[in-house]
Amino acid sequence: MVNIFGKTLEELTELLTEWGLPKFRGKQLADWMYKKSVTDFNEMQNLPKSMREKLATECVIDRAARVDQLDSADGRTSKFLLNFSDGVGVETVLMRQPYGNSICVSSQAGCNMGCAFCASTLHGMVRDLTAGEMLAQTYYINDMLSKSGEKVDTIVIMGSGEPLTNYDNVLKYIRLLHEDYCLGMSYRSVTLSTSGIVPNIYRLAQEEIPVNLSISLHAPENSLRSELMPINRKYPMADVVKAGGYYGEKTHRRVTYEYILIDGVNDNAKQAKELVELLKGQLASVNLIPINPVVERNWNRPSPERIEFFEKYLAKHHITVTVRREMGNDIQAACGQLRNRHLDNG
């Protein structure tokens, strides 16, 4: 059985023309599958019965099934554990923001980047996700929202996984999101978050798809960044920031640098100054994320005064800065925690 969910219109048309069917059948199939979100070939009424039967015997529209769900007390954040047909599960999060419905999509099951603050990497990486599996996460939530006349408005590829090490699948997913026969989303409503895979930041800049780029920085100097993010040993901070600068110039999109604030680790005045030096002159903004305490590492959230100091210091030195509002703390919004709970429970 071939899973056709995640195939482009061209791929669908190619498959059907191999069966001796006219090209326009590809468009009809894409409309049913992506526009109408139908998964049962029998419901595709304008397709000939013989075609529906052949589809049913040779193909499947394989999406994702919900295994678990957690809703925050304020009802604004919902986290889903979704399984694919091989039993592999990932987390997808819906955040109801004032500006619309934003979802956080996983690009790999687990992750092997080893970031010190991240639960997704604790069990390593199981496998890359296909474009269809990323799309299936999106459709799961979009279908749910459509029942109340809503839709997915923005997407961050910021769940488990490093999207730029699963480059081809991620790019195919982003392009599918944009297609008129699929969700027709603008590239500007999509944000890709990376730990800093330098060659693929340059590659992405050449694709002429102006998605927002978010780079996890978390430290303004190499030794600390290597401790927090081992990938820094391969792609050092200065190279990452240079690549970010290139991305901004090429796409005219402001690059966001994520910076988790950890009390006594990366929140002092010297580090604020180093951060300003590093990003000076770039079309960049910094998103400060006060950490949720990690007991095992003795990491704590800085005091409100310290967070404010850091924020004001950057702003005073002309760096656009935001402090992430807290969402869904009560449902363990940090990526990977819900999935790990299921893995640990066997």
Distance in angstroms (rounded) separating the CA atoms of residues 132 and 283: 33
Distance in angstroms (rounded) separating the CA atoms of residues 256 and 241: 11
Interacting span for ligand SF4 (CB under 6 A) from 112-120, 133-141, 250-258, 313-321: 112-120
Q: Contact with ligand SF4 (CB under 6 A): which of 13, 92, 102, 121? A: 121
Binding to ligand SF4 (CB under 6 A) within 189-218 occurs at 195
To the question of whether residue 249 is assigned a binding role by annotation, the answer is: no
Binding to ligand SF4 (CB under 6 A) within 311-340 occurs at 335
Does 162 engage in binding with ligand SF4 (CB under 6 A)? yes
Is 91 marked active-site?
yes
Close Cβ partners of 149 (under 8 Å, ≥ 6 residues apart): none
Using an 8 Å Cβ cutoff, are 232 and 222 in contact? yes
Using an 8 Å Cβ cutoff, are 4 and 12 in contact? yes
Q: At what angle do helices 237-251 and 269-279 cross, to 10 degrees?
A: 50
Distance in angstroms (rounded) separating the CA atoms of residues 30 and 4: 10
Q: Contact with ligand SF4 (CB under 6 A): which of 44, 104, 113, 204? A: 113
Residue 71, helix vs strand vs coil: strand
Phi and psi at 40, nearest 5°, equal: -105, 120
* Beta carbon nearer to ligand SF4, 111 or 291: 111
To the question of whether residue 189 is assigned a binding role by annotation, the answer is: no
Whole-number minimum distance, CB 153 to ligand SF4, in Å?
23
Does 120 engage in binding with ligand SF4 (CB under 6 A)? yes
Using left for φ > 0, alpha for ψ between -120 and 50, and beta otherwise, residue 243 falls in: alpha
Q: Residue 50: exposed, middle, or buried by beta-carbon count in 10 A (0-12, 13-18, 19+)?
A: exposed
The count of residues interacting with ligand SF4 (CB under 6 A) is 11
Q: Which of 59, 91, 104, 133 is catalytic?
A: 91
Is 58 marked active-site?
no
Does 111 engage in binding with ligand SF4 (CB under 6 A)? yes
Whole-number minimum distance, CB 112 to ligand SF4, in Å?
8
Does 256 engage in binding with ligand SF4 (CB under 6 A)? no
| Contacts with ligand SF4, residue ranges (CB under 6 A) | 111, 113, 115, 118, 120-121, 160-162, 195, 335
List the binding residues for [4Fe-4S] cluster: 111, 115, 118
Residues labelled catalytic: 91, 335
